[in-house]
Amino acid sequence: MEKLTNGLRDHFSISDNISPSAPAPLKQPFVIGVAGGTASGKTTVCNMIMTQLHDQRVVLVNQDSFYHSLSEEKLKKVHEYNFDHPDAFNTEVLLSCMDKLRSGQQVSIPSYDFKIHQSIESTSPVNPGDVIILEGILVLNDPRVRDLMNMKIFVDTDADVRLSRRIQRDTVERGRNIQNVLEQYTKFVKPSFDEFIQPSMKYADIIIPRGGDNDVAIDLILQNIRTKLCQHNLCKIYPNVFIISSTFQIKGMHTLIRDVNTTKHDFVFYADRLIRLVVEHGLGHLPFKEKQITTPTGSVYSGVDFCKRLCGVSVIRSGESMENALRACCNRIKIGKILIHRENNDGRQLIYEKLPKDISSRHVFLLDPVLASGNSAVKAISLLLSKGVPESHIIFLNLIAAPQGIHVLCKKFPMMKIVTSEIDASLNEDSRVIPGMGEFADRYFGTDNYLKSKVSSLPTNLQVC
């Protein structure tokens, strides 16, 4: 409990019977406001934060989604409309959505089309998160919105840079021409910036000069959010290490598979469940394209189309235990195999490999349930790189990882991602993970010598899963 910072105490309720490594139950989400002039890089900065965190407990809400739709009449005189005035936004709806999110309810956020100055029919569901980022030109202007925030950020970018970016963006993405942009900028955007936006900078706790170019500021904000989320220290050091969100179900499954007395049947059952969660999380790291579809009710749904050029590569023998979960998630996925012989603690020899011929053009899920010293993984990853797979296209999936293995892989392959379900304490002198779960393949395939013949009874909280 001492590990928790004071900041965290303010926002998370802490009960005495919860261990420090268990997820702290939420009291109030942490709300971060990101304001700044148009084209300062607010959306870019927030998207960078969301991508680098890749954590479903963090949600992003854009103030743009709450623009009032223009009536027919106002549309005819759109050039006389001030989109940079506080009255252009439906702040009541924004406040109500924020209230719902803060009280743990899912909300439907309107979608706004800048080309037609209207909300479109489709809405995006946003789940309540532990961290809510609210981004927009005027989020620090209204005291009611400002008062919701626990951290206020202002993105401060030079006005000339903003104007040139705005011309570029609005002509390419928002259906404007240069003359429209310049007229609107002189008539409304700049005067409203001077009247409402610039004065709101004094409320900011953090000012980010140069927006998305300011890696140091973004890194500091990321570290802060990671601390709020109680992320593991290694995830703070290495942004490409991801641990699936811990719940008591997950902790319970780990308790079972790590227990020396667990039968083979139960070991396989719970290892499979955990593997499936890791695979699903890994799939969430693949690139996607936005896609709108029509549902049978005739409504438009704004969704995504995910990448289908992927394959699995399992490290024989234990990695083969992860193949079924990958096949269950990705129909007819190609899966290659690598056999690596452990000669001693450090030495590894590649014995066998069978990989898809076109592997260099695929995203690769490398499958091995335990990451220990990282020596076998280095061998396997080096082979994938030698076949032309870009480092950034490799996602290494495992159930447990030792800090030593994570250090080795992240330093050698900084662009590769690692997705795991728990990070253990250390390695012993034989390079076995501690506390670990023993020889995974022996326990999974029933070749271990401590296999129990008697079926142990399940803990009551997991009996009916």
Ligand X SMILES: Nc1ncnc2c1ncn2[C@@H]1O[C@H](COP(=O)(O)OP(=O)(O)O)[C@@H](O)[C@H]1O
Ligand Y SMILES: Nc1ccn([C@@H]2O[C@H](COP(=O)(O)O)[C@@H](O)[C@H]2O)c(=O)n1
Q: Does 364 bind ligand Y (CB under 6 A)?
A: no
Please identify, among the stretches 24-32, 38-46, 145-153, 312-320, the one whose residues bind ligand Y according to the rule CB under 6 A: 38-46
**Residues between 174 and 213 that touch ligand Y (CB under 6 A):** 189
Q: Which is nearer to ligand Y, 117 or 228 (CB)?
A: 117
Q: Which is nearer to ligand Y, 28 or 124 (CB)?
A: 124
Task: Give the Cα separation of 306 and 328 in Å (integer).
Answer: 16
- Write the DSSP symbol of residue 446: T
Q: Does 174 bind ligand X (CB under 6 A)?
A: no
Determine the residue with CB nearest ligand Y. 38
Strands 433-434 and 426-427: antiparallel
Distances (CA, A) of 91 to 65, 103, 267, 304: 10, 18, 52, 28
Q: Does 41 bind ligand X (CB under 6 A)?
A: yes
With the C-alpha atoms ordered 229, 231, 235, 236, is the resulting torsion angle positive or negative?
A: positive
Choose the one of ligand X, Mg ion, ligand Y, none that binds residue 185, judging by a C-beta under 5 to 8 angstroms depending on kind. Answer: none
Q: Which is nearer to ligand X, 49 or 275 (CB)?
A: 49
Q: Which is nearer to ligand X, 178 or 425 (CB)?
A: 178
**Residues between 193 and 252 that touch ligand X (CB under 6 A):** 211-213
Choose the one of ligand X, ligand Y, Mg ion, none that binds residue 301, judging by a C-beta under 5 to 8 angstroms depending on kind. Answer: none
In angstroms, give the least distance from the CB of 300 to ligand X. 23
CA atoms within 13 A on the CB side of 34: 28
In angstroms, give the least distance from the CB of 46 to ligand X. 8
Residue ranges in 330-421 assigned as alpha helix (H)? 375-386, 403-412
- Applying CB under 6 A, the site for ligand X has a residue count of 13
Which residue ranges make up the site for Mg ion (CB under 5 A)? 43
190 burial via Cβ count (<10 Å: 0-12, 13-18, 19+)? middle
Choose the one of ligand Y, ligand X, Mg ion, none that binds residue 67, judging by a C-beta under 5 to 8 angstroms depending on kind. Answer: ligand Y
Q: Does 84 bind ligand Y (CB under 6 A)?
A: yes
In angstroms, give the least distance from the CB of 179 to ligand X. 19
Find the angle CA(379)-CA(383)-CA(387) to the nearest 5 degrees: 170
Task: Give the Cα separation of 288 and 306 in Å (integer).
Answer: 4
340 burial via Cβ count (<10 Å: 0-12, 13-18, 19+)? buried
- Applying CB under 6 A, the site for ligand Y has a residue count of 12
Applying CB under 6 A, among 24, 31, 34, 39 the residue interacting with ligand Y is 39
Distances (CA, A) of 167 to 39, 62, 173, 177: 9, 21, 10, 8
Q: Which is nearer to ligand X, 138 or 225 (CB)?
A: 138
Q: Which is nearer to ligand Y, 39 or 311 (CB)?
A: 39
Please identify, among the stretches 37-45, 226-234, 332-340, 454-462, the one whose residues bind ligand Y according to the rule CB under 6 A: 37-45
143 burial via Cβ count (<10 Å: 0-12, 13-18, 19+)? exposed
Choose the one of ligand X, ligand Y, Mg ion, none that binds residue 228, judging by a C-beta under 5 to 8 angstroms depending on kind. Answer: none
Residue ranges in 315-399 assigned as alpha helix (H)? 323-329, 375-386
Q: Which is nearer to ligand X, 38 or 404 (CB)?
A: 38
User: Which residue reads 């290892």 in tokens?
Assistant: 271
**Residues between 112 and 171 that touch ligand X (CB under 6 A):** 165, 169
Within 10 angstroms of residue 455's Cβ, the number of other Cβ atoms is 10
Q: Does 259 bind ligand Y (CB under 6 A)?
A: no
Tokens of 436: 């670990």
Compute φ and ψ for 60, nearest 5 degrees.
Answer: -115, 130
Tell me which residue of 60, 45, 48, 44 sits closest to 124, measured CA to CA: 60
**Residues between 304 and 363 that touch ligand X (CB under 6 A):** none
**Residues between 47 and 76 that touch ligand Y (CB under 6 A):** 64, 67
Site track 132-161 with ligand Y (rule: CB under 6 A), x = hit: -----x------------------------
Task: Give the Cα separation of 111 and 295 in Å (integer).
Answer: 17
In angstroms, give the least distance from the CB of 44 to ligand Y. 9
List of residues contacting ligand X (CB under 6 A): 36, 38-44, 165, 169, 211-213
List of residues contacting ligand Y (CB under 6 A): 38-39, 42-43, 64, 67, 83-84, 114, 117, 137, 189
